[in-house]
Structure 1
Amino acid sequence: MTDALASPAGLTQAQARQRLAIDGANELPVSKPRSLLRLAREIASEPMFLLLMACGLIYLGLGSRREALMLLGFVFLVMATSFVQQRRSERSLEALRELSDPQALVERDGQVQRIAARELVVGDLVLLAEGDRVPADLQLGEVANLSVDESLLTGESAPVPKQSAPLAGGGTSSQAFAGCLVTQGTARGSVIATGARSALGRIGQSLAGIVAPPTPIQQETRQVVKRVALFGLALAALLALAYGLARGEWLQGLLAGLTLAMAILPEELPVVLSLFLSLGAWRLAREKVLARQIPAVELLGATTLLCVDKTGTLTANRMALRRLWSADHGHDTAQARPSPLPEALHGLLEYAVLACHRRAFDPMETAITEAGQRLLAGTEHLHADWTLIDDYPLSPDLLAMSRVWRSPDLAAQLIAAKGAPEAIIDLCHLGADQGASISNQVQAMAADGLRVLGVAWARFPAGDLPDQQHDFNFEFLGLLGLEDPVRPDVPQAIAECRAAGIRVVMMTGDHPATAVSVARQAGLDAETPALTGVELATLDDAELARRLGSTHIFCRVQPEQKLRLVRAFQARGEVVAMTGDGVNDAPALKAADIGVAMGARGTEVARQAAALVLLNDDFASLVTAVRYGRRVFANLRKAIVFVVAVHVPIVGLSLMPVLLGWPLLLMPIHILCLQLIIDPACSVVFEAESLEPETMKAPPRRPDQRLFDQAVVARGLLQGAGLLVMLLGLHAAARAWLPEGPEREGMARALSFVALVLSNLALIRTNRTWGFAAGPARLKPSPQAAWVAAGTLAMLVAVLLIPMVRRLFGFELPPPATWLAPAGLAMLAMLWFKAVKRLPARGR
């Protein structure tokens, strides 16, 4: 099982593929997406299709066998459309599930690479670091101060220290188990069990029944649909009863009642909502933003405050060593004509490299190591033959780390330390004057936007090492200045946030001068004083609340202070999105309204705690996420206005002829045909609409704003009511103008139906924008809308010109001169729809 430990290169890709095919994916048995058969069964059992099947049986009872068969054919066509739409939603969610899989850092073919944890196989070499979730059961081969929280398996909250073991194995103290959290240190180990065969898998069968709860908007939609459906069924029952009593035609009355029920039932709303949210999350994923929690997509549009860290979010996270300084010398590596590193600074860089991990993952350590290889090449200051004895990691109390080395030429042990300058000054026990001189230099370097580290060294006799770094007799060597340039797209993104009414604040552990310099370059407000973690600790809640209104830069803050800041901002009524990447950031990420984790440099704990994951770690992606959040909510509102507006005339045309003593105007086949327009319009046309330019220039929406608010419902009802009045007028006029005879009712029905369909296309076009569009220039071309319009017109031509279909619809061809009436009504309806959009509406 531990054969890979003997090979520093790990498995090859071919070996991994072969073992994956034999053992299966490294995942637990969790709830699976709906199968095709289950999806089809659920669609067939929806109320709309049950009503249509009942109508088909009634046609058979009336002796209209051909009409019944044609109706059932249309039923299967609409079912196929619904199946395709919901399957598209399922595929989007499946793609998101694959993206949200935990990641693992492995060595394959001699290269370190990050893969989905589900692709791990027995024998893979896995690299662990603080904050990672152990992706599979591992036999540890190389361990550095590793502690693992195994409470998930044992219930014990205290972290368990781990040690390396011989290749033959060595019990649980040299094993790490899937699902457990690395709380300290690093390690390298070989996979010995995956999936259901791991320790977690053997006790995790209960996960199979987990189902994600509905989102708030989904709950609101279900309540609306339930209430409207109950009202519609009650009204349909009364209509069927009244029709039967008044005319003595009980089957026709039942058909009229079922038609009304179909007209009222807003069955497309849950499908539309599910599709919008899942496709919105999928579109975000294409922009390198992973939505791990679907509610985050709907809440993004309400975000009022973005709390971001500096490194890797505002900056490029590509550290480079730019300046070296000692008491007597200085050197800038970014000179136009670089000069060799002065001999007097060789020791500074030598011990800076020794204070780094040889397998560096941290960008600063990588930059120092690369600079050492370049600037010290060919000197005696690179020590590949030195042996690491022990190390002292960073701690909240001392922001410095030390590594203890043994040279083959010396009996004594050599210690290299690096860290925050104030921590290194403390370790070296420097006097006040020397400490002040170094602090002044730190201030000057930080003012240039450099991340400053101090470096020191010590010699210690061979033997037992002390418990803490302070017991070494350190000597100060100098300072390193590392540059992490601001990403070029950040200033524009911050300006876009400001225009959208979203405030951006920076929280960083950096020196105040560095933070202020980067903030200015990024376009943040740097005029008000920065608030440091030390100052923050002295403020009570009331004083902190007063400072939050004007402070945009928080520096030298500890992770636990981020949690306090998030809660304080929320207490002021802000909707907070916050970025984080470390283990200690997880509480703040959970507390934020939208926690945002870094996908590339973030820990697995941070990613699991967050609602969003920025796969490329940059601030512009976060602004993109806000933009998409506003787009999803705005397009949902447009779709709901259309659904409400289109149902009003359908309901009215189903009900009013019965009340007015006319023959039935709409029958089930007409409702079914209209569904072929409504469903694609909602789920395809409106979902694909791009964000309107003014949307990112408006303040964020209220977080408690309902989807079915007054503005949406009122606009839909007014647009639909106006169209209903026009259609009833057209139908009455057609019955009066057309020549008398058995064909008159069929002609009038055909004209009214054509007018309704053309008006629906006008309704789609009008509601593609929320505000009033002065002309077609405001409306961007939409391939989806063009396809819906072309398909609708082709369907109308088929209905009118194919005799069998025309008879099924109860139509007769009217005189050619009358065809101008439906077209004219559709143009008049569009003017009415636009006039309604001019009316003031709250809750935009």
Structure 2
Amino acid sequence: MNNSIPQEEFVGLSDAEAAARLASDGYNELPSSSRRNLFILAFGVVREPMFLLLVACGAVYLVLGDLYEALMLLGFVFFVMALTLYQERKTEHALEVLKDLSSPRASVIRDRAQRRIAGREVVKGDLLVVGEGDRVPADAQLLSALNLMVDESLLTGESVPVRKSDEESAAVDVRPGGDDLPFLWSGTLVVQGQGIARVTAIGNGTELGKIGKVIKGVAQEETRLEKETGRWVQNLAIVGISLCIVVILFYSFTHRGEWLEGVLAGITLAMATLPEELPVVLTIFLAMGAWRISKKQVLTRRMPAIETLGSATVLCVDKTGTLTMNRMTVDALIAGEKRIDITSSEEQEMPEDFHELVEFSILASQLDPFDPMEKAIRLIGDRYLKESEHLHGDWNLVHEYPLSRELLSLSRVWKSEGREKYIIAAKGAPEAVMDLCHLDALTIQQLSLRINELADTGLRVLGVARAYFVHSELPEKQHDFVFEFLGLIGLADPVRPTVPAAIAECYAAGIRVVMITGDYPGTATTIARQIGLKEPEMVLTGSELEGMAETELQERIGSVNIFARVVPEQKLRLVKALQMHGEIVAMTGDGVNDAPALKAANIGIAMGGRGSDVARESASMVLLDDDFSSIVEAIRLGRRIFDNIRKAIAYIFAIHVPIAGMLLLPVLFQWPLLFLPAHIAFLELIIDPACSIVFEGEQEERDVMTRTPRRADEPLFSRSMIAAGVMQGVVVLGVVMGIFWFFHNRGAGIAEVRTLTFTTLMIANLCLILTNRSWSTTIRASLFFPNSALIPVIAGAMLFLGIVLYVPFFVTLFRFSAIRFTDLLLCLAAGFGSVLWFELLKLTGVFRSGRYSRQ
């Protein structure tokens, strides 16, 4: 006979009432972050000063009637714009794939009839019908329940399902968590039984919605990379615009009647001086980093977070679903005086003494279980009893006695063909099962020691019993059977196999790991020992945290690594306390209860597989495969990115000095103007992809995961880095000016001088890329380091240089002239010689600080 809840007595709302409430209260959904459309993304690209200057130059050329120059400059604008838009849209689309394609369905009673509707159409007052496997669509109060158990780990962090009761209680705690509450919460999962409940809150009014309000109140600060880059862009932009104005005025004054040429000269100098590569290259650099890490199943929602993760000093980890698998496994069995520990080895055999224990634990479970504990029990049976007589697929289920508040055990009554007697299997809390068996005090005392033995190792303990019944009429209560106690089953939520090694690597990298969980201290301590967490005995509970002053918390926060029985508001408080302690905090989590802390952390890392939409929306990064070890790879990549960004910035400073110098000096000394906007645009077309692609593809240094995180106040634009970059640029400027003077004094025409000077600058540009790959290893040695982008970029740049030097159309467009092979060799020698001093300086070890060392 099947147990079910009679629905005839429930009427529910009418369609008209439901429509009216839907119109007044709105849909049952949480607002999500809006997706930026193509026009918003494009506007963010075109408002960059570099693009505006290129458009201005194009407009001037149109006024002068030079259509080819104008089209070339505008083509450069659209090329970089298209690249940026493609990467932005690719990242946003990847996030959209994570979200559900439609809202979950809900079963409701309306006009006495049960029907399925979209979860977003559930309204207050609706009668929900929930059963095993259903996701609860709204907060509701139970009217009727039968053996109902719900997984509330999204809200509480606890992996063990809780019992539900339809009994009213004036003193009931209305917060999620705990057994025998008559409430269901939106987003939780029914793992056993069935129930009917009246909806009390939808959308923002649910517990999910309340957490969402907390998330909105958490301001998300700019990363240090964004702030520092913004300051330098602003300051250098002021310098560039000022020089632009000075050049326009000076040129117009010294060359009367040529004000348009003065505007072109000024804008060209601004193009050479403005640090447009910093925002553009950093955007592409981090976007490519996001794409690269996405190949390892990590989605980056805020690209600067990758760099910030590399400087993280504390990693706050949620236990359930992050450190553990969020599924139960049988770890130990106790029958009589004997114990067996279950291992993953297939060769392990189960002694006969334990067969009946497993047999009756299966009989006390669902045939096709959904509950994690029953799934684990079924798995053990399939593994060890499959070919034995202890599995009974042909038995018939006759009756089920569900869990109740008075008796925390359930019994299932079976009957087999050809037998008159009933077979009863019971399982539940060990105390309840011992009570069913009417054990004597001494036996209970001995069993209690074994129960504590299992519980102390963090296991969830179940008792199992059996009974036989020969009468035709089954009794009303489980206590009326004569049960025999069979033994104990210890279940655990296993640690992810990759976690211990990942934790060890974090420690090697100088990163402190902190566990923040809603689970019990004993369980948290056990997990901490298994993963190798430092100081596993030092635990601070949520109740202790609640009454703790901020000063005391600041004293304890530096030494305690385990925080147990923590509620969402306290997770947020802990993250902020760590930040006040001077830490750069990375926070992982998958539940809705983690969302406020994920958003408040410097880097929030959500689980994409088991994680909630709210957690993913709040996080900076999403682990698509929920593999904790991917965090270590992200940290490695973050440190690599910071190193490589510094190399790229040094190169940017180095190449801009000679470009700006070769534009400014001819204006001031009234020499012939060599470089026009087309030349700068061509150089930028090489510089931007070259420095972003080559330096982004550079491999990490060998000490990247053995050095401590960089200081919180360590600048990206350090004085030594800027000084080295500028010095490289000054030397290159001197060499290029030398080529200019040599050929100018030899009587070469302006077109030939321009060609040779530009060629020398292009060769020096490529040499600057090579030398800045490493500040501790020479170009010759670094050529053996893998970088798949290096050869294509160098070859492409040389090909483009050959085209503009030898294809007549481009020779005319760039106002070049033919050059002799011997002069070309001189340009090659001068370009390489411009960085030779820096290569010799590397050999002295002056740059061997460990930051760029390959040793």
TM-score, structure 2 normalization: 0.71
Give 1:344 shift.
6.9
1:786 aligns with 2:786: no
Provide, for residues 467-513 of structure 1, a one-character-per-residue CA deviation record: whole Å limited to 9, x for no partner: xxxxx999976432347776554454334323321233556747859
Question: Is the counterpart of residue 717 in structure 1 residue 746 in structure 2?
Answer: no
Q: Which residue of 1 aligns with 2:737?
A: 728
Matched, 1:417 2:428: yes
Q: Which moved more, 1:85-94 or 1:41-50?
A: 41-50
Conserved? CA contact 2:130–2:136, under 8 Å? no
Correspondence list, 1:484-503, <5 A: 489-503=498-512
The reply on whether 1:453 has 2:461 as its aligned counterpart is yes
Residue of structure 1 in register with 2:238 after alignment: 230
The letter of the residue matching 1:143 is G
1:241 paired to 2:236: no
Does 1:385 find its partner at 2:397? yes
Counterparts of 2:598 and 2:62 in 1: how far apart (Å)? 61
Quick one: structure 1 residues 551 and 816, their matched pair in 2 at CA, closer, same or farther if it must change by over 3 Å? same
Give the partner amino acid of 2:53. L
Q: For residues 564-643 of structure 1, what are the structure 2 equivalents within 5 Å?
A: 566=575, 569-586=578-595, 588-643=597-652
Residues of 2 paired with 1:475 and 1:593: CA distance?
A: 56
Report the counterpart of residue 70 of structure 2 in structure 1: 72
Change (3 A) 1:671 1:325: same
Match of 1:118 in 2: 101
CA contact 2:401–2:478 (8 Å) conserved in 1: no
Say which of 106, 130, 136 aligns to 1:142: 130
Alpha carbons of structure 1 residues 578 and 384: separation in structure 2 relative to 1, 3 Å: farther
**Residue 663 of structure 1: SS of its match in structure 2?**
coil
Distance in 1 separating the partners of 2:203 and 2:505: 49
Q: Does 1:271 align with 2:283?
A: no
Q: Secondary structure at the match of 1:416?
A: strand
Alpha carbons 1:146, 1:182 under 8 Å: kept:
no
Q: Which residue of 2 aligns with 1:360?
A: 370
SS of 2:698 mapped into structure 1: coil
User: Structure 1 stretch 824-833 or stretch 134-143: which is displaced more?
Assistant: 134-143
Q: Distance in 2 between matches of 1:578 and 1:29?
A: 21
Please report how far the alpha carbon of residue 284 of structure 1 lies from its aligned counterpart in structure 2 after TM superposition.
Answer: 2.7
User: Which of the numbers 356, 360, 376 marks the counterpart of 1:350?
Assistant: 360
Residue number among 776, 782, 806 corresponding to 2:781 in the alignment: 776
Secondary structure at the counterpart of residue 266 of structure 1? coil
Q: Which residue of 1 aligns with 2:17?
A: none
Letter in 2 for 1:142: V
- Structure 2 residue matching 1:579: 3-state secondary structure: strand
Shift of 1:245: 1.5
Offset of residue 341 of structure 1: 5.7
Q: CA deviation at 1:417?
A: 1.7
Aligned identity (percent) is 37
Structure 2 CA distance for partners of 1:316 and 1:242, relative to 1, 3 Å: same
Query: What amino acid does structure 1 have at the position aligned with 2:833?
Result: L
Q: Aligned partners of 1:29, 1:567: CA distance in 2, in Å?
A: 24
Where 1:290 maps in the other structure, the secondary structure is: strand
Deviates further, 226-235 or 752-761: 226-235
State yes or no: 1:683 paired with 2:706: no
Q: Which residue of 1 aligns with 2:53?
A: 51
**Which stretch shifts more, 304-313 or 241-250?**
304-313
Deviation at 1:572, TM superposition (A): 3.7
Q: Distance in 1 between matches of 2:30 and 2:849?
A: 48
Q: Is the 2:192–2:370 Cα contact (8 Å) retained in structure 1?
A: no
> Alpha-carbon deviation of 1:779?
5.3
Structure 1 residues 785 and 231, CA, compared in 2 at 3 Å: closer, same or farther? same
Query: 1:169-568 counterparts in 2 under 5 A?
Result: 181-182=186-187, 185=190, 215-216=222-223, 217-218=225-226, 220-248=228-256, 249-308=258-317, 313-314=322-323, 320-331=329-340, 342=352, 346-347=356-357, 350-351=360-361, 354=364, 359-360=369-370, 362=372, 364-372=373-381, 375=385, 378-379=389-390, 385=397, 390-391=402-403, 402-403=409-410, 416-418=427-429, 437-438=446-447, 440-441=449-450, 451-455=459-463, 478-482=487-491, 489-506=498-515, 509=519, 515=525, 519=529, 522=531, 524=532, 528=535, 530-532=537-539, 537=544, 554=562, 557=565, 566=575
* Cα 1:544–1:239 shift into 2, 3 Å: closer
Please name the residue that 1:694 is paired with: 703
Matched residue, 1:22: none
Seen in structure 2, the aligned counterparts of structure 1 residues 252 and 366 have a Cα distance that, compared at 3 Å, is: same
Show the counterpart of 2:835: 830
Instruction: Write out per-residue CA displacement over residues 302-348 of structure 1, whole angstroms, 9 at most, x where no aligned residue.
Output: 21223445666556667543431034443455588655664676357
Pair 1:747 & 2:756 matched: no
Distance 1:543 1:199 in 2: 38
Q: CA deviation at 1:783?
A: 3.0
Q: Is the 8 A contact 1:577 1:596 kept in 2?
A: yes
Say whether the 8 Å CA contact 1:353–1:372 is kept in structure 2. no
- Please give the alpha-carbon distance, in whole angstroms, between the structure 2 residues aligned to 1:807 and 1:840: 44
SS of the counterpart of 1:694?
coil
Residue deviations 1:734-784 (CA, integer Å, cap 9, x gap): 322x2x2xx433322222111111111111222233654474247523332
Change (3 A) 1:564 1:680: closer
Structure-to-structure mapping, 1:76-87, within 5 angstroms: 76-87=74-85
Aligned residue pairs: how many? 736
1:698 to partner: Cα distance: 2.0
The answer for unaligned runs of 5 or more in structure 1 is 1-25, 102-116, 126-133, 152-158, 166-172, 174-178, 190-197, 467-471
Shift of 1:670: 0.9
Partner of 1:806: 811
Distance 2:90 2:319 in 1: 32
User: Which residue of the partner structure matches residue 131 of structure 1?
Assistant: none
Are residues 600 and 57 of structure 1, via their aligned partners in 2, closer, same or farther at CA, if it must alter by over 3 Å? closer
Q: Does the 8 A contact of 2:57 with 2:677 survive in 1?
A: yes
CA distance in 1, matches of 2:840, 2:34: 49
The one-letter code matched in structure 2 to 1:416 is: K
Mapped partners of 2:353, 2:277: distance in 1: 75
Report how far residue 82 of structure 1 moved: 0.8
Q: Distance in 2 between matches of 1:423 and 1:633?
A: 58
**Farther off after superposition, 667-676 or 631-640:** 631-640
- Name the CA shift for 1:806/1:224 in 2 (closer, same or farther; >3 Å): same
TM-score (norm 1): 0.72
Which residue in the other structure is 1:763 paired with? 768
Counterpart of 1:286 in structure 2: which amino acid?
Answer: K
Question: Aligned with 2:789: secondary structure?
Answer: helix
Check conservation: 1:99, 1:290, Cα contact below 8 A. Answer: no
- Structure 2 unpaired stretches of 5+: 1-28, 109-117, 147-165, 167-183, 195-201, 214-218, 468-473
Deviates most, 376-385 or 820-829: 376-385
* Post-superposition offset of 1:822: 1.9
- 1:88 corresponds in structure 2 to 86
Could you tell me how far apart the structure 1 residues matched to 2:688 and 2:362 are?
Answer: 64
The answer to which of 712-721 and 748-757 deviates more is 712-721
Residue matched to 1:655 = 664
1:691 Cα deviation (Å)?
A: 2.4
Deviation at 1:644, TM superposition (A): 2.4
Q: CA deviation at 1:702?
A: 3.1
Match of 1:455, SS? strand
Whole-Å Cα distance in 2 between the matches of residues 380 and 815 of structure 1? 91
Q: Is the alpha carbon distance of 1:55 and 1:515 closer, same or farther for their aligned partners in structure 2, counting shifts above 3 Å? A: closer
Aligned-partner Cα distance in 2 for 1:497–1:655:
50
Q: How far 1:589 moved relative to its partner?
A: 4.2
Given that 1:669 and 1:809 are in contact with CA atoms closer than 8 Å, whether structure 2 keeps it comes out as yes
Distance of 1:487 and 1:585 partners within structure 2: 19
Question: What per-residue deviation string (whole Å, max 9, x for no partner) do you get for residues 413-436 of structure 1?
Answer: 986324xx7999999999997677
Change (3 A) 1:835 1:350: farther
User: Helix, strand or coil: the match of 2:68?
Assistant: helix
CA deviations over 1:504-557 (Å, ceiling 9, x no partner): 35567478599558736x4x266x5523466984996777766665665x4865
